[in-house]
């Protein structure tokens, strides 16, 4: 495949304030209608997402985090026990399902955005609103040049003055063995 294809899955409850940031980011990306990028806002992860994962090269899961101070991106590996259906799905379990059912899963990351308010409500806190804007500003560049999404930004950018632990435009990360499932 010449063009890298992406799937963005943003999930969380839009009725629990900051918990909805993942869905909001995915909805914004969907509105961009970028070539090679499919974006799915979801209330929760469901088994049907394994189909969509099997059709792309890279996936970015976006969710709110209860703890933490910085946005983090962590590489995901497939849960090899995914053939056992459980009551809760995680991004890793969905990757495992994609591998098990369709013999393919994408290289994937989980973006965690720390929230402040998870009470009933539809508005994001000011801090999460600001973080969401910073993330949305950087995503188009990642989709054009996927190597800019570094495997573990926590160790490489601990001193990021924006409080958004994301890669800068001059950083590159070569593909490492084991980054993909197939």
Q: What is the CATH number of the domain that holds 43?
A: 3.40.50.1450
Residues 84, 85, 88, 90, CA torsion sign: positive
CA distances from 83 to 2, 57, 89, 108, 167 (A): 31, 21, 12, 19, 34
Does residue 161 belong to any structural domain of this protein?
no
Stretches in the chain below the pLDDT threshold 70 = 1-4, 82-87, 146-182
Does residue 38 belong to any structural domain of this protein?
yes
Asked if 85 and 70 touch (Cβ cutoff 8 Å), the reply is: no
**Percentage of the chain modeled with pLDDT above 90:** 65
CA distances from 137 to 32, 131, 168 (A): 12, 10, 12
**What pLDDT is attached to residue 107?**
93
Does residue 46 belong to any structural domain of this protein?
yes
Does residue 58 belong to any structural domain of this protein?
yes
Does residue 116 belong to any structural domain of this protein?
yes
**What pLDDT is attached to residue 81?**
76
Does residue 41 belong to any structural domain of this protein?
yes
**What pLDDT is attached to residue 148?**
59
**What pLDDT is attached to residue 122?**
96
Which residue range(s) make up the domain with 146?
A: 6-156
**What pLDDT is attached to residue 99?**
94
Does residue 133 belong to any structural domain of this protein?
yes
Does residue 118 belong to any structural domain of this protein?
yes
Q: For 33-46, how does the pLDDT look when each residue is reduced to its tens digit (9 = 90+)? A: 999 999 999 999 99
Residue corresponding to tokens 């980054």: 179
Query: Whole-angstrom Cα distance, residue 132 to residue 136?
Result: 6
Counted domains in the chain: 1
């Amino acid at each position: 495949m010449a063009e890298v294809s992406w799937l963005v899955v943003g999930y969380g409850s839009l009725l629990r304030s900051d918990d909805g940031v993942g869905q909001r980011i995915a909805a914004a990306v969907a509105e961009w209608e970028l070539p090679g990028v499919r974006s799915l806002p979801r209330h929760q992860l469901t088994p049907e997402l394994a189909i969509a994962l099997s059709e792309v090269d890279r996936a970015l899961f976006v969710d709110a985090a209860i703890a933490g101070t910085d946005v983090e991106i962590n590489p995901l590996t497939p849960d090899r026990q995914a053939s056992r259906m459980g009551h809760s799905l995680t991004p890793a379990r969905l990757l495992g399902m994609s591998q098990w059912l369709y013999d393919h899963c994408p290289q994937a990351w989980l973006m965690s955005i720390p929230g402040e308010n998870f009470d009933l409500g539809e508005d994001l806190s000011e801090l999460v609103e600001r973080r969401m804007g910073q993330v949305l500003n950087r995503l188009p560049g990642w989709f054009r040049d996927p190597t800019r999404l570094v495997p573990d930004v926590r160790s490489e950018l601990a001193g990021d003055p924006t409080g958004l632990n994301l890669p800068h435009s001059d950083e590159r990360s070569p593909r490492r063995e084991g980054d993909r499932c197939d």
